[in-house]
Structure 1
Amino acid sequence: MRKLHGLLIAAMVVAGGSITTVAPAAEANVTAATVPLEVANKSGRTDAVYLYVLGTNLATGQQGWADAGGGFHAWPAGGTPPTPAPDASIPGPANGQSITIRLPKFSGRVYFSYGQKLKFFVTTGGLVQPDVNNPSDPNRNILFNWSEYTLNDSGLWINSTQVDMFSAPYAVGVKNTSGTVRNTGHLKSGGYRGFFNALTGQPGGWANLIQRDPSGNILRAIAPGHGIAAGALPADVMNDYVNRVWAKYSSATLTVQPFADQPGVRYYGRVSGNVMNFTNGAGQVVTSFQKPDSDSIFGCYKLLDAPNDQVRGPISRTLCAGFNRSTLLTSTTQPDTNAADFYTDVVTNHYARKIHAQMQDGKAYAFAFDDVGNFESLVNDSNPTTAYVTLDPLD
């Protein structure tokens, strides 16, 4: 996921190269050095669970891992080819049980796996994380998932993410000093199988996003951008919608209001040839976008790159959300934050559509800028006392 308000803290480079960020870095309050994380296993599975807390130490900038007490351990130097990383696993709770570990001030991830420990490696450039899009990755046939979090002096941000894949379900939560608890990420009853059944029934190659183990058991569905890279999903899957958008805004104007708290900031897009030019209120061109391909849309990068600035980045994230949700033809003012308008076109991000349909609160991180309009599965608090990860049933 990405955030574009204020300063940023980059959480990690996720499999496939997309950058995720989870929290603004401006420091207002001073939180404790570590926060307890309660992990509850409600999966219904009998196999062992393994936990990992990996990330960047915000005090030093070092990459490393944390033990169950929140103690930091830097990764060793690594080599070429990558060398096995130290065993950073923490024994997780049995089904029906819970354990409490401590989260340090990291920008990173909490991984969990079922049945087997994950295999991490270290190279000269840092940690090599699991890449399920690589058929030879040693973690390819392990059922696992991760949450992203940032804990800094401003508080805690923790999410449930499907930006790279939809796999073993879980929810996240945070309790503050007043005792208020907020949760997100829970599926509806039957939502796990409901998602895979829906994806299987979606024509056009979407079922090819599903990965199975050698016994035929479902492991995950990879995000559509990864599906394009693997040849599982047609590279032109969004082209028809893009062509219609380009045709519409050759004779109409797209108004982008990227900041909900600054309604007076507006940019105006018109297509000329293969380029959509955006002007400000004075008629000056401030940025331009080439006609995006499907991969740029699903990844919110390449032709829809979103730098951390106050012009191109905010416009790009608005376009990315509009393409993924297929709202650019239904409203000439974006972002459209009416969920009833989302995913109604026959050409859309069906992976994202089907994930949101199965969430109890309708929120998910199904693509990088799913936070446009606050539809992301994220909780945060400036005064956290406890964080939660709940491993939910695979039903």
Structure 2
Amino acid sequence: MITRRRLLGGLTAGAATGLGLARSAPALAAPAAGSAPPAPFADGLPLHLVNHSGAFANSSVRVYIVGNDGTQQVHVTPDGALRPVDPADNGPDGFTDYAIPLAASGTTTLRLPPMSGRIYTALGGPLKLKAVRDGDGRPALAYPAGWVAGDPNYGVLHDCAEFTYNAGGMYCNTTMVDMFSVPLALTLTGARQQTTGTLADGGRAAVFAALRQAEGFARLVIDDKRVIAPGHGLDAGLFDRDLLAPAIDEAWAAYADKDLTVTTGAGTFTGRTRGTTLAFTGPRAVSFGKPSTRDVLFCDGTLAAPNDGVLGPVAAVLGAALNRSTLAGHASQPTTDPAAFYRQPLTNHYARAVHAAARDGKAYGFAFDDVGGFASYIEDAAPTDLTLTLTPF
């Protein structure tokens, strides 16, 4: 399985500019030894775009498919061709026009070339995507950052799904890791048909209402446009940077005199806290300093997860447990019963709300939401088509 962190490792945020700057191509998964590429691979995968939003006509919806092909930044044209990003594409207004309009009515179908990237939907107006050069002088694209008030797309209603399509298959997810705005669903057909991202009736409004009512989270709701993830809210001064500190302190104190066990693919790790350090023995000795609220929300800092098969998976389990508020009360991790998640007053109410709104209970509310299989992620080694649906508001 390709986790979201591996799937789109190259689409990192450019903090210096306040824009999401895609700087480098993430590693694409190789097909299994002896396996044949899926039949549609050479010609691209049929991608169906369906507008069931009920709030916007097809003429008011624009789609943008951007990412990289493993060597360079690219975008997809309306006829399904793959083109490199080029600063010369910026028009008189300073931005590219990489939009793919929907058909006048009904379903829009094009071919999705092999690449990793995002499928953005913009409703009511175009996205302003600027082609630039990165620090190495290579063409790159400044991605929308709807959580940054100064971003040129802050006033545009937009959202995205993420994917990698290569000779190994299709790997895709809907995401709320940065923000939630437009309800999107993905249906992947191949060895079987899978759908993820569909919200329950009234799900979008329920997310907005839940965050307005949760103490400390109300300022993350930006009118009726979007809800910003709390990590980005913290950086913008909209969220208390110490809000989760008492819960983190409680979790660290819980294992001063008893063992915490974390089981991953590498084996079982046994840990105890020593001061502010949670130290584990097991397949390899690993340790973690006490994280900050920001570390927990971004699953970074002391909880950064390298793709090493040892430290990374333990960090992911701890990050998930802290976001789901299960670490202090469950000495064996990961906790896999969703009925135990988000039960404490101090918890990631943003993740709680997006999961509660999902029909299947799955969402990508934080970066380690794939721990235990609770993310809105699907994959298929032999895909035949993919459908992105704007579901009812």
TM-score using structure 2 length: 0.89
Distance 1:209 1:280, change over 3 A: same
TM-superposed deviation, 1:3:
2.0
Find the partner of 2:217 among 206, 220, 225. Answer: 206
Candidates 193, 200, 211, aligned match of 1:188: 200
Matched, 1:223 2:233: no
Q: What CA distance in whole angstroms lies between the structure 2 residues aligned with 1:73 and 1:18?
A: 18
> How far, CA to CA, are the matches of 1:2 and 1:304 in structure 2?
19
Alpha-carbon contact 2:25-2:69 (below 8 Å) kept: no
The amino acid that maps onto 2:386 is A
Q: Secondary structure of 2:264's match? A: coil
The alpha-carbon distance between structure 1 residues 15 and 353, as it changes in their structure 2 partners (threshold 3 A), is farther
Give, as a single letter, the amino acid of the residue that structure 2 aligns with 1:360. R
Q: Any conservation in 2 of the 1:277–1:287 contact (CA below 8 Å)?
A: yes
CA distance in 2, matches of 1:102, 1:187: 26
Q: In structure 2, what is the Cα distance between the partners aligned to 1:72 and 1:194?
A: 38
Helix, strand or coil at the partner of 1:146: strand
Counterpart in the other structure of 2:374? 375
For residues 127-153 of structure 1, give each alpha carbon's deviation from its aligned partner in whole angstroms, at most 9, with x where no partner exists: 111112322211101100000000000
Q: Cα distance 1:142–1:223, how it changes in 2: closer, same or farther (>3 A)?
A: same
Q: 2 CA distance for matches of 1:293 and 1:11?
A: 25
Amino acid of the structure 2 residue aligned with 1:44: G
Report what 1:109 is aligned to: 118
Counterpart of 1:108 in structure 2: which amino acid?
Answer: G
Report the count of equivalent residues.
372
Is 2:391 the counterpart of 1:392? yes
Counterpart CA distance in 2 for 1:350 and 1:9 is: 25
Tell me the equivalent position of 1:246: 252
2:137 alignment counterpart: none
CA deviations 1:140-175 (Å, max 9, x no partner) are: 011000000000001001111000001110100111
- 8 Å CA contact 2:146–2:179 kept in 1: the answer is no
Cα-to-partner distance string for 1:84-107 (whole Å, 9 max, x where unaligned): 34311010245x721111211111
Q: Which amino acid aligns with 1:383?
A: A
Gaps of 5+ in 2: 135-139
Instruction: Establish whether residue 308 from structure 1 lines up as the match of residue 312 from structure 2.
Output: no
8 Å CA contact 2:56, 2:123 repeated in 1: no
- Any conservation in 2 of the 1:68–1:102 contact (CA below 8 Å)? no
Secondary structure of 1:244 counterpart: helix
1:100 aligned counterpart, secondary structure: strand
- SS of aligned partner of 1:193: helix
**Equivalent position SS for 1:12:** coil
Q: Distance in 1 between matches of 2:166 and 2:240?
A: 41
Residue 30 (1) aligns with residue 29 (2): no
8 Å Cα contact 1:11-1:150 kept in structure 2? no
Looking at structure 1, the residues matched to 21 and 254 of structure 2 have their Cα atoms a distance apart, in angstroms, of 30
Change in CA separation of 1:99 and 1:220 when aligned onto 2, cut-off 3 Å: same
Q: Does the Cα contact within 8 Å between 2:147 and 2:179 map onto a contact in 1? A: no
What is the RMSD of the two structures over their aligned residues, measured on CA atoms? 2.5
Q: Unaligned stretches of 5+ in structure 1?
A: 213-217
The CA distance in 2 between the partners of 1:22 and 1:362, in whole Å, is 28
Structure 1's 370 and 155: CA in aligned 2 closer, same or farther, altered over 3 A? same
Shift of 1:21: 11
CA distance in 1, matches of 2:186, 2:228: 21
| Residue of structure 1 equivalent to 2:189 | 175
Instruction: Quote the residue 2:67 is aligned against.
Output: 55
Q: What is the letter of the counterpart of residue 75 of structure 2? A: W
TM-score norm. by structure 1 comes to: 0.88
* Match runs of 1:75-154 below 5 Å: 75-77=85-87, 84-93=94-103, 97-125=106-134, 126-154=140-168
1:185-230, Cα deviation, whole Å (9 max, x unpaired): 0000111111111111112x20110112xxxxx1000101001101
Structure 2 partner of 1:275: 277
Judging changes above 3 Å, is the alpha-carbon distance between structure 1 residues 45 and 52 closer, same or farther for their aligned structure 2 residues?
same
Partner of 2:3: 3
Q: Aligned equivalents of 1:78 and 1:202: distance in 2?
A: 46
CA contact (8 A) 2:63 2:119 kept: yes
Letter in 2 for 1:256: V
CA shift for structure 1 position 12: 1.6
Amino acid at match of 1:64: V
Shift of 1:68: 2.5
Q: Write out per-residue CA displacement over residues 239-278 of structure 1, whole angstroms, 9 at most, x where no aligned residue.
A: 011110111111111101022xx6xx11111111111111
Separation of aligned partners in 2, 1:49 and 1:89: 9
C-alpha distance 165-392 of structure 1, shift in aligned 2 (>3 A): same
